[in-house]
C-alpha cells in the first residue's frame, strides 16, 4: 500500500511531512491513514474520493490556501470542517479539476509510538 502522499519530505519523533501532487485526471494510490493529520492546500482542486474497493464515496472541493484537520476514529477519518464527509481510513482520491492539486500533509505521531 502507498504512503499518504506523493513523497515524504521530513520525519522526526513527532511528525511526518508529505507532499501530494495530483495532475488533472490523475488517480492517487490507495493508502491507509493511521495517524491524525492536517492538510495545507497549496493549489486547490476538486477531488473524487473512492473507498478501499475503488467505490465512489464523495466529491470534495479543497481551496488554495485552505487547511483542514483530520482525526482517525476507528475505521473512519473525521474532519474539523462542518459538512465534510467521513471517509474510510483506506481510500484514494482522483483530481477531477482542471489544475494540478498540491498539498502538504502533516501526520502527528502518537506519544506512545515514539
- SS3 of 26-47: the string is CECCCEECCCEEEEEEEECEEE
Residue 77 lies in a domain: yes
Q: Are 102 and 19 a contacting pair, CB within 8 Å?
A: yes
CB atoms inside a 10 Å sphere around CB 47: 21
Residue 2 lies in a domain: no
* Number of domains making up the chain: 1
Nearest residue to 27 (alpha-carbon basis) of 12, 7, 47: 47
Query: What is the mean pLDDT of the segment spanning 82-106?
Result: 95
For residue 113, name the pLDDT band (cuts at 50, 70, 90). Answer: low
pTM: predicted TM-score of the whole model, two decimal places: 0.91
Res 58: pLDDT: 95
Structural domain harbouring 109: 7-113
**pLDDT tens-place string over residues 16-73:** 999 999 999 999 999 999 999 999 999 999 999 999 999 999 999 999 999 999 999 9
Residue 81 lies in a domain: yes
Q: In what order do the strands lie in the sheet with 101-108?
A: 7-11, 15-22, 101-108, 36-43, 67-73, 76-79, 87-88
pLDDT at 1 over 60: no
Res 112: pLDDT: 65
Residue 1 lies in a domain: no
pLDDT at 106 over 90: yes
**CATH at residue 44:** 2.60.120.10
Residue 15 lies in a domain: yes
Amino acid at each position: 500500500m502507498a504512503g499518504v502522499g506523493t513523497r515524504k519530505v521530513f520525519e522526526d519523533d513527532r511528525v511526518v511531512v508529505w507532499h501530494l501532487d495530483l495532475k488533472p485526471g490523475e488517480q492517487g494510490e490507495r493508502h491507509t491513514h493511521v495517524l491524525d493529520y492536517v492538510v495545507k492546500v497549496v493549489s486547490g482542486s476538486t477531488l473524487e474520493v473512492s473507498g478501499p474497493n475503488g467505490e465512489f464515496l464523495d466529491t470534495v472541493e479543497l481551496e488554495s490556501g485552505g487547511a483542514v484537520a483530520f482525526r482517525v476514529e476507528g475505521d473512519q477519518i473525521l474532519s474539523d470542517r462542518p459538512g465534510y464527509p467521513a471517509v474510510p481510513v483506506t481510500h484514494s482520491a482522483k483530481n477531477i479539476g482542471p489544475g494540478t492539486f498540491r498539498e502538504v500533509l502533516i501526520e502527528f505521531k502518537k506519544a506512545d509510538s515514539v
